Amino acid sequence: MKFKFIIFSLLISCLTFNACTDSVDDKESQGIDEALLDFNKFSLNTYDIPATILLPDETSNIGASTKVEVTHTEGDFLWDLKVGPNFELVINDWGTDKEILNAEVKKLKNLEFYNVKFLKKTPTTILYERTLNVDGKKNAPKNVGIEHKSYHLFMTKTIQNIIYTFETNDGGSTKEIVELQEKCINSIHEINNSKNS
């Protein structure tokens, strides 16, 4: 009897382990970053963007909740996507403007009150550190003042021939959250909405 119980327990353990690894293997075979394995797929289709995105849940340790909030006025070209108090993406529809990323780089290089340090620059992504220029900083003691540093992301994604930008809000965020946002944006998959006639 004990032998049958041990065999039965091993069989159940193997089946359970195999079922769990299949799920992980499926996501890995789809090219999903390991850091996003426990994230939730969210459809933007309801908000007139024919795509899905993986978003953080409460286990991500960034202060996120499972409730996703999207603010969008139908017919408008702007969306605000929030997951908890620390994760926010601003989405814009730029139509077919292929120069939008270059225009953003030029704008950032000409900011008067901020120093911008580009941490990553690709044809579709700008990740940068923005520091407030402070008068008198050179002569101030090291223990005076607060450094105003934030991290920002600006990415383009083409979905059904429309160029969308995904960016942090103007206030930016921590480097950890911005890098996580980049991974989420890279997880975007287009939804084919074609209907059979």
Report residue 18's pLDDT band, with 50, 70 and 90 as the boundaries: very low
So what's the pLDDT on residue 133? Answer: 83
156 in Cβ contact with 164 (< 8 Å): yes
So what's the pLDDT on residue 5? Answer: 46
- Residues 185 and 177: their CA atoms lie apart, in Å, by 12
Which of 129, 176, 135 has the alpha carbon at shortest distance from 154? Answer: 129
More confident residue, 2 or 175: 175
List the chain domain ranges.
1-31, 32-190
Model pTM?
A: 0.74
109 in Cβ contact with 101 (< 8 Å): no
Which fold, 32-190? Protein Transport Mog1p; Chain A (3.40.1000)
Report residue 43's pLDDT band, with 50, 70 and 90 as the boundaries: very high
3-state secondary structure 64-122: CCCCEEEEECCCCCEEEEEECCCEEEEEEECCCCCCHHHHHHHHHHCCCCEEEEEEEEC
So what's the pLDDT on residue 118? Answer: 96
What pLDDT digit, counting tens, does each position of 87-127 carry? Answer: 899 999 999 999 999 999 999 999 888 999 999 999 999 99
Q: What 3-state DSSP class applies to 101?
A: helix
